[in-house]
A and B are shown apart, each in its own frame.
Chain A
Amino acid sequence: MHLRKLVWREMFERKNQLATSFLAILLGIAVVVAVKNITFYSEKAVARQLDALGANVLVLPKSVSLQDYYSADMQNDEFPEEYVQRLALSDLQGLDNLSPKLSVPVRLKERGFTLTGILPKSEFQAKAMWAGAGIFSRPAEGCGTVADVPGAFRPEAKETLVRQRVIEDLSDTEVLIGADVGTILGTKEGDALDVLGRTFTVTAVLPQTGTVDDSRIFAHLHAVQELAGKGPVINAIEIIGCCKEISGGLVQKINKLLPDAKVVTITQVVDTQVKTNGMMSRLSLLFLGIIVLVGGASIANYMYANVFERRREIGTLMALGAGSVVILKMFLLKALLLGLAGGICGYVLGTVLAVALGPRLAGIPVLPMPALVLWAIGISVAIALAASYFPARRAARLDPCATLQEV
Chain B
Amino acid sequence: MRLEAVSKSYRHRGHTVAALDNASLEIVPGDFVAVVGPSGSGKSTLLLVLGGMLSPSAGKVFLNGHSLYELSPNQRAELRRQKVGFVFQTFNLVPYLTALENVQIPLFLAGLDGPAQKERAATLLERVGLGDRLDHKPAELSIGQQQRVALARVMANEPEIILADEPTGNLDPETGGQILDLLEEMNREGRTVVMVTHDPRAAARAKRTLRLHDGRISSASN
Which residues on A are within 8 Å of B, measured CB to CB?
1-3, 5-6, 9-10, 12-14, 312-313, 315-326, 400-401, 404-405, 407
Chain B residue at minimum C-beta to C-beta distance from A320: B106
**B97 contacts the other chain (CB 8 A):** yes
Of A1, A324, A401, which is within 8 A of B108 by CB?
Answer: A1
Residues of A within 8 Å of B95, CB to CB, are 13, 313
4 nearest A-B residue pairs (beta carbon): A321-B81, A13-B96, A1-B104, A401-B54
| Cα A400 to Cα B52 with chains together (Å) | 10
Of B44, B86, B97, which is within 8 A of A320 by CB?
Answer: B86
Report yes or no: B101 in contact with A1, Cβ–Cβ below 8 A: yes
Report yes or no: B77 in contact with A318, Cβ–Cβ below 8 A: yes
**B17 contacts the other chain (CB 8 A):** no
**B73 contacts the other chain (CB 8 A):** yes
| Cα A3 to Cα B108 with chains together (Å) | 8
Report yes or no: A9 in contact with B96, Cβ–Cβ below 8 A: yes
| Cα A10 to Cα B96 with chains together (Å) | 6
Given contacts A318-B53, A319-B51, A405-B44, contact A1 B90 (CB under 8 A): no
Residues of A within 8 Å of B106, CB to CB, are 320-321
| Cα A12 to Cα B95 with chains together (Å) | 12
What are 24 of the A-B contact pairs (CB < 8 Å)?
A1-B101, A1-B104, A2-B108, A2-B114, A3-B108, A9-B96, A14-B96, A313-B95, A315-B92, A317-B105, A317-B109, A318-B53, A319-B80, A319-B86, A319-B92, A321-B78, A321-B82, A321-B106, A321-B109, A321-B157, A322-B81, A325-B74, A404-B53, A404-B92
Given contacts A1-B105, A316-B94, contact A323 B77 (CB under 8 A): yes
**B32 contacts the other chain (CB 8 A):** no
Chain B residue at minimum C-beta to C-beta distance from A325: B74
Given contacts A13-B96, A320-B105, contact A407 B90 (CB under 8 A): yes
Chain B residue at minimum C-beta to C-beta distance from A321: B81
Report yes or no: A312 in contact with B109, Cβ–Cβ below 8 A: no
Residues of A within 8 Å of B157, CB to CB, are 321
Classify chain B: how many residues form its interface, as a range. 20 to 34
For the complex with contacts A14-B96, A319-B86, 14 further pairs of A-B residues with Cβ separation under 8 Å are A1-B104, A1-B114, A3-B108, A10-B96, A312-B92, A319-B92, A320-B86, A321-B78, A321-B80, A322-B77, A322-B109, A324-B77, A404-B88, A404-B92
Of B53, B82, B90, B110, which is within 8 A of A319 by CB?
Answer: B53
**Which chain B residues (110-132) contact chain A, with CB distance < 8 Å?**
110, 114, 117
| Cα A135 to Cα B82 with chains together (Å) | 85
Q: Which of A2, A323, A325 has the most CB of B within 10 A?
A: A323
Chain A residue at minimum C-beta to C-beta distance from B165: A404
**B107 contacts the other chain (CB 8 A):** yes
Residues of B within 8 Å of A325, CB to CB, are 74
Chain B residue at minimum C-beta to C-beta distance from A13: B96
A402 to chain B, nearest CB (A): 9
